[in-house]
């Protein structure tokens, strides 16, 4: 779910005392990794308790050993993730290093989650064209109410990244492969 | 059972010193055995030094990991209110809006409950008791917070208004003097502000009665 900011004067009950406030939940454009992991735990508990559908997607850049993500690429990837998400989705950094991006999709069944993953891939590709960014592997995990812990979800996401990835590539690489096809 | 590199390094060093002592004694009687023992001791010293060096090179990574863990748990604290350990009021407002958005989009039930000690003059002990009850007895999926001035709030997702008397009854059975008011999504409003206002009015009416 995207956090919305309104001036404190229009929302007195949310006025941050002593510098506390919604900005503390963010790390740049996205939710901070500690907060999205906290919410993932909550969402899984909720899905299990009420039998509600829940899906999660993770995008990881495919980098060469000597390659690092430039700030422009990171910014673009974050923007692509925000564009792909619905207002009720939660978008944040999966790790402290601001490399992998995680989107939590509450109330989302498998078919809709697949559509969301395809939309995210397209957004990543479109944004990747602007900055000639790296390839991004996107892993999708649905029916999260079957998972009992965040660690299991993390392991399953890594497994999916290696096995069933949906890849958003650099424009040149994408066109090369189209030519081959 | 795992043994750290530091312990292995100390063990290798101790062994090497022992072998050197044996070599010193053996040198008095059988020189070839002394030479072999000295070679063994040298190998032991080299091993101990490598292990100790590797251990030292891992130290910054371990320290970084530890600091990162501590920072993560420290940052988590910002969403909690200092005195009660429940969620802070700004966080509750944010979550309240999120929950209303979700309830509207997916047509799910949701309720908002306000709780205050029976007397406005109730001291910290009464407030602490209420905070404790809320943190122990609400479901893990509920979001409970402290708004200040003795007023507590709980956002109850997936909860019809008809289900809230059960919670209130449980609360009253443990804490006698307490005022409560509930607003339901849809019936009393569709935004956090609407629900809060409706529940606050209800609370005011119940206190006046």
Does residue A9 carry a pLDDT above 60? no
Cβ-Cβ contacts under 8 Å, B93 against chain A: 11, 13-14
Minimum-distance CB partner of A107 among B98, B106, B141? B106
Answer whether B181's CB lies under 8 Å from B105's CB. Answer: no
Number of domains in chain A: 1
Length of chain A counted residue by residue: 181
Cβ-Cβ contacts under 8 Å, B102 against chain A: 1, 88, 106-107
Give how far Cα A84 sits from Cα of A78, A123, A125, A163, B99, Å: 10, 7, 12, 23, 21
* Structure confidence at residue B72 (pLDDT): 65
Per-residue pLDDT tens over the stretch B29-84: 666 666 666 666 666 666 655 555 555 567 777 777 777 666 666 667 788 888 88
Indicate the domain borders of chain B: 5-78, 89-208
The verdict on a CB contact (< 8 Å) between A4 and B106 is no
pTM, 2 dp: 0.70
Minimum-distance CB partner of A1 among B88, B98, B196? B98
Residue A71 lies in a domain: yes
| CATH number of the domain that residue A102 is part of | 3.30.70.270
The per-residue DSSP string of A36-62 comes to HHHHHHHHHHHHHHHT--EEEEEEEEE
Q: What angle do CA B2, B3, B8 make, to 5 degrees?
A: 160
Residue A9 lies in a domain: no
Residue A43 lies in a domain: yes
The residue among B181, B177, B197 whose CA lies nearest residue B189 is: B197
Cβ-Cβ contacts under 8 Å, A50 against chain B: 141, 158
Q: What is the DSSP letter of B77?
A: G
d(CA B77, CA A7): 23
Per-residue pLDDT tens over the stretch B74-124: 667 788 888 889 999 999 999 999 999 999 999 999 999 999 998 767 778
Residue A112 lies in a domain: yes
* Residue B60 CB coordination number (10 Å): 9
Look at the domain B89-208 and name its fold: Alpha-Beta Plaits (3.30.70)
d(CA A74, CA A133): 9
Residue A2 lies in a domain: no
Minimum-distance CB partner of A38 among B76, B98, B139? B76
Residue A16 lies in a domain: no
Q: Does A5 touch chain B (CB under 8 A)?
A: no
């Amino acid at each position: 779910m995207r956090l919305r900011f309104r001036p404190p004067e229009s929302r007195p009950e949310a006025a941050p005392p002593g510098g506390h406030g919604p900005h503390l939940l963010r790390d740049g454009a996205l939710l901070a990794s500690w907060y999205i992991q906290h919410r993932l735990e909550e969402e899984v508990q909720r899905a299990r308790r009420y039998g509600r559908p829940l899906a999660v997607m993770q995008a990881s850049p495919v980098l060469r050993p000597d390659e690092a993500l430039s700030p422009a690429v990171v910014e673009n990837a974050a923007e692509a993730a925000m564009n792909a998400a619905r207002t009720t989705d939660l978008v944040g950094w999966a790790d402290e290093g601001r490399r992998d991006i995680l989107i939590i999709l509450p109330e989302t069944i498998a078919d809709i989650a697949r559509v969301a993953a395809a939309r995210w891939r397209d957004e990543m590709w479109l944004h990747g064209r602007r900055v000639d960014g790296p390839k991004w592997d996107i892993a999708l995990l649905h029916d999260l109410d079957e998972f009992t812990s965040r660690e299991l979800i993390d392991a399953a996401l890594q497994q999916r990244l290696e096995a069933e990835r949906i890849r958003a590539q650099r424009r040149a690489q994408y066109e090369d492969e189209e030519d081959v096809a | 059972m795992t043994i750290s590199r530091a312990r292995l390094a100390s063990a290798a060093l101790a062994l090497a010193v022992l072998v050197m002592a044996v070599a010193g004694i053996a040198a008095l009687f059988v020189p070839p055995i002394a030479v072999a023992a000295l070679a063994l001791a040298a190998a032991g010293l080299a091993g101990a030094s490598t292990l100790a060096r590797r251990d030292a090179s891992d130290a910054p990574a371990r320290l970084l990991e530890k600091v990162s863990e501590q920072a993560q748990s420290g940052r988590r604290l910002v969403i909690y209110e200092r005195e009660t350990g429940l969620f802070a009021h700004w966080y509750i407002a944010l979550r309240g809006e999120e929950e209303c958005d979700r309830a509207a989009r997916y047509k799910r039930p949701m309720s908002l409950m306000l709780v205050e000690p029976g007397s406005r003059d109730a001291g910290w002990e009464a407030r602490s008791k209420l905070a404790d009850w809320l943190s122990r007895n609400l479901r893990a999926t509920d979001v409970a917070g402290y708004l200040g001035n003795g007023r507590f709030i709980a956002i109850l997702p997936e909860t019809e208004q008809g289900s809230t008397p059960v919670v209130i009854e449980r609360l009253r059975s443990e804490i006698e003097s307490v005022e409560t008011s509930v607003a339901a999504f849809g019936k009393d409003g569709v935004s956090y502000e609407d629900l809060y206002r409706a529940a606050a009015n209800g609370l005011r009416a119940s206190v006046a009665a």
